[in-house]
Amino acid sequence: MPQVKIVARNFMDMVASLLAVKLDMLYDNSFICEVILRSLPPLAKKYVLQLLYIDIPISAKSMEEWVLPDGFSKHKVAIDRLIQLRVMTETFDRKKEAMYRLNPKFQFNLQKHIVHGGVLPREPMPSNITVRLPSLEELEAFAVEQWECFLLHLISSSEAGKTTNISSSMMKIFQRGLLSQRDDREPPRLTESGFQFLLMDTNAQLWYIIREYITNAEERGVDSADLIAFLLELSFHVTGKAYNTNTLTDLQRSITKDLSDLGLVKLQQGRKESWFIPTKLATNLSISLADTTSRKQGFIVIETNFRLYAYSTSKLHCEILRLFARVEYQLPNLIVGAITKESLYKAFQNGITAEQIISFLQQNAHPRVAERIPSVPENVTDQIRLWESDLNRVEMIPAHLYDEFPSKDVFEAACDFAREYGGLLWEDSKQLRIIVKADILTEMKEFLRRQK
């Protein structure tokens, strides 16, 4: 079964993919230089600070002496990361030895920021101007509701109750690779990548969406460097504080509307002013996937008899469970179902793998069972893998049978030819018969014609 992998990259990988000219434009902003410094591995941060006031290149050999022999692998990772982000540039002297120095623009702006500080991109609005701001709990609930609304739309547009809040342009961007539509008469359907996306961790889903949003920026007439710069600026905003939208450019206003659809910011309108309120999803954008420690509490209990109990009021959770389980009934705070052979076969046909299902069950295990080892019964995980292997036991390959070869030499030559092209499936040296993949039918015919 083909498997389409969705890779959710670190935000800094997106930054590193920018052209050198656009990266240098980013480093005009001292706050972005600080964000980049924060994101670096510990050893890379140390190198930046050591080189911050050195204006001449340092040889690679000299820098290698800064670490002990057992730290050389971390040293290489640090150097590679600094070069990828153009924080450090690499040159070669007359002896062709590598020399390193900090990017002058990055170096100057970081020096200025450390010594003199700087004015934040924008200050929070005073409380006497804004109406009652949502509490952190209300803001978190808003972010969850908006995110679930988007995911419900991916599963089934008829099931999502509030999809009108999501702009059509945003949905077109996010649907790429996740939904497919043969023609206008048929509703969009989830692709293999779409099914796999729904089982991913929320943080990984968010990074996938942000990556697509940035990747497709140029098609919308948006400079990807400007977009990344604003997303990085959000790292300096305080969760729950209100920021005046009049301080934003037209592009940034458009971005905040899109981010609001996903629950990254909440928009509010007062009598005279309007403002946006960042949620945790926005202020943590510059943190890597590996660094994100906030995980939602699990809700799933699996029994050894394959019964499934999900303690959740979320409609989204119910729809995701339907992807691989049989949901029998739903109470106000409990979903009851079972994992069956039929429900898993349907999931496998949609491109979901056994390992993805098992990983989803483990990551979302209820706290009462999450402490157990294993959190999902072994007989359940083993059976899920066995049912997946059942589908892969027999593989249909179009092929052709060749027999009645004029001689042993021609037969062996044909075997060698088919084997060289990777098309030989079976051979019988006694009866002089071979079975060859249909993929190389034309080449095989031409070879046999030459033998005659």
CB contact at 8 A, 414 and 447: yes
Give CA–CA dist 220/332, Å, rounded. 42
Output phi, psi for 426, to 5 deg.
Answer: -160, 145
Give CA–CA dist 20/118, Å, rounded. 25
Sole residue written with tokens 């599963």 = 155
Which residues have a Cβ under 8 Å from the Cβ of 286 and sit 6 or more positions away? 11, 12, 35, 38, 39, 232, 235
CB contact at 8 A, 137 and 280: no
What letters, b where the CB count within 10 A reaches 16 and e where it falls short, cover 64-93? eeebeeeeeeebeebbebbeebbbbbeeee
Query: Where is average pLDDT lowest: 47-51, 95-99, 195-199, 293-297?
Result: 293-297
pLDDT at 293 over 50: no
Model confidence pLDDT, tens digit, residues 424-449: 999 998 899 999 998 888 888 888 88
pLDDT at 164 over 70: no
Q: State residue 250's pLDDT score.
A: 92
Burial of 318 (C-beta count, 10 Å sphere; 0-12/13-18/19+): middle
CB atoms within 10 A of CB 328: 11
Q: Which residue has the higher pLDDT, 23 or 396?
A: 23
Model confidence pLDDT, tens digit, residues 327-344: 999 999 999 999 999 999
Fold of the domain built from segment(s) 11-116:
Arc Repressor Mutant, subunit A (1.10.10)
Model confidence pLDDT, tens digit, residues 403-427: 988 889 899 999 999 998 888 999 9
User: To the nearest 10°, the Cα dihedral for 77, 82, 88, 89?
Assistant: 70
Domains in the chain: boundaries: 11-116, 136-289, 300-392, 399-451
Model confidence pLDDT, tens digit, residues 372-396: 889 999 999 999 999 999 887 777 8
Give CA–CA dist 54/224, Å, rounded. 32
Give CA–CA dist 54/346, Å, rounded. 62
Model confidence pLDDT, tens digit, residues 81-131: 999 999 999 999 888 899 999 999 999 999 999 888 777 778 888 887 777
Give CA–CA dist 440/452, Å, rounded. 19
3-state secondary structure of 240: coil
pLDDT at 69 over 50: yes
Give CA–CA dist 415/251, Å, rounded. 64
Asked whether the CA dihedral 32, 38, 43, 48 is positive or negative, the reply is positive
Fold of the domain built from segment(s) 399-451:
Alpha-Beta Plaits (3.30.70)
CB contact at 8 A, 103 and 89: yes
